[in-house]
Structure 1
Amino acid sequence: MTRSRPAELHSDLRRRIVDGRIAPGEKLPSESALIETWGLGRSAVREVLARLQAEGLVHTRRGAGSFALTPPPEPTASLPAVRTLEDRLALLEYRIALESESAALAAARISGPELAVLADAVVLCEASAGNPAEAVGHDFAFHRGIAAATGNAFLLDAVDKLGAVMIAMPRARLETAAGSGAGAEHRAVLDALRDGDPAGAAAAMRTHLTASRRRLRREAGHTPR
């Protein structure tokens, strides 16, 4: 079966990043160049870049373009499938345990450039309300960036194994204005990281993921716990 042009573009860029032909930190071709080369519309190109970002392969900075990241490791062990509401709630419980401690470690170890990447991800996530593909990509980039800032390869590997599937995106969240809801929660985590406050970062992350769990249950018609 013939693949679509967007699928071919995604496969081409992904292969070049994983193979190192586009090196970590190197800028990808511009949206305009990709549109001209591949004969695609701007929205199709942006969807491809958002998918690559969700896979942890690129980081997009507004006004600067998209840059290749070090490819995340391939999974070495299978993970339980996430299919039902109960699966996703269980996943959030796991994330609370994993990411609260990651946030505490990151607060003690994070560098200036890593903080800048996280700040960009927060802004872009808020700006992507109404575009699920972009929002998921930026949200995952934020959480993966925190794991990377711990300097602990095992914590980063755990997040990479989960991938963007770990991000819950209830419809109500996409309709939330920037600066409130999940956006405000992300900023609280970022503020604690910027202040070098491990206890505050852990508490802010726990608050964020507990609220995510509550929003997910509410949208599914369950009484929040």
Structure 2
Amino acid sequence: MTERRLTRVTLLDGLVDALTRQIQDGELPPGTQLPGEAALGEQWGVSRPVVREALALLRDRGYLHTVNGSGTFVRHPDVGHVSAALERHMSLTEREVLTVDHLYEAREAIESAAARLAALRSDEQDHLLLSRYLEDMGRSRGDKAAYAAADVGFHVELARASKNPMLPALLLPLVRTIVEGVMESHRSPRGVPLGLEGHGMILTAVVERDAERAAAAMAAHLADSRKLFPPDVLLRNFSHPTLGGATTPSTRH
């Protein structure tokens, strides 16, 4: 590993961030054994307690694992790492670099594929959950936050229904960036009706196992969504996800 010295005031955060970057950038590939605490401390210019706590945090986050008597190793990445890395990249990237069009293009690529696969692979439980999210959207017309939570939940659940774990991992950070935009849809008299209609068409195609119609319905829904939200609405909330993730749909009928 390259020797570097941390100059940040918060040495723990600095070390965790630096090691995370090395893992995500491939400088520390899966299976790499880390030096001992003393060597790491000397390498980064921090104390052993700081090293010990940093390694514990990275283990908790799934980046490292310790084998008794052997040492600490970099773990093979899972889909959670993909999602976390993408969200971190988006939060650190200049707003002028990633535009709203970029985000919607990425969503269309991911979500059209998710809708197509969900139509082929989803089961009755998936259909039930999607239906409940749609029902929650309809019940939440006057509550912007609840409506947005149900909207996000529908999209993430649809990705899960594709049975490809990479799709929800890739989608969630993208969806979070437009939550405020979903809430802004209440300012337009067309926003909620268009949203409900679009989600309903997607769900119908998925339940009827029509893969191409499901993908087309998703593309049309995202196109409608994009037209409703001006760039300044989304960009001013670009790095400020309001929701911590998809919520559990209501069990009311």
Alignment of 1:2-41 (within 5 A): none
Percent of paired sites with the same residue: 26
**Cα RMSD over matched residues?**
2.8
Q: CA deviation at 1:160?
A: 2.9
1:80 aligned to 2:90? yes
Q: Which stretch shows the higher mean deviation, 122-131 or 133-142?
A: 122-131
In structure 1, runs of 5+ residues without a counterpart are 1-71, 221-225
- Where do 1:92-131 residues align within 5 Å? 92-131=104-143
Q: Is the radius of gyration larger for structure 1 or structure 2?
A: 2
Given the alignment, which residue of 181, 194, 202 partners 1:189? 202
**What CA distance in whole angstroms lies between the structure 2 residues aligned with 1:150 and 1:98?**
11
2:152 is aligned, of 140, 143, 148, to 140
Structure 1 pair 166–172 and aligned structure 2 pair: CA distance change class (3 A) = closer
Give unmatched runs, 5+ long, in structure 2: 1-78, 234-253
Between the aligned partners of 1:188 and 1:181, the Cα distance in structure 2 is 11
Cα deviation digits, residues 141-171 of structure 1 (max 9, x gap): 1000011001101112112333533433253
Letter in 1 for 2:127: L
Does the Cα contact within 8 Å between 1:104 and 1:198 map onto a contact in 2?
A: yes
Deviation at 1:126, TM superposition (A): 2.2
What amino acid does structure 2 have at the position aligned with 1:122? L
Output the TM-score relative to the length of structure 1: 0.58
Contact 1:106 1:146 in 2 (8 A): yes
SS in 2 for 1:151: coil
Aligned residues: 149
- Aligned mates of 1:170, 1:105 — CA distance in 2: 28
C-alpha distance after superposition, 1:10-41 (max 9, x if no partner): xxxxxxxxxxxxxxxxxxxxxxxxxxxxxxxx
4+ residue segments displaced more than 2 Å:
72-76, 81-84, 86-90, 160-168, 170-180, 217-220
Shift of 1:217: 3.3
Cα deviation, residue 102, structure 1: 0.8
3-state SS of paired residue (1:92): helix
One-letter identity of the residue aligned with 2:80: P
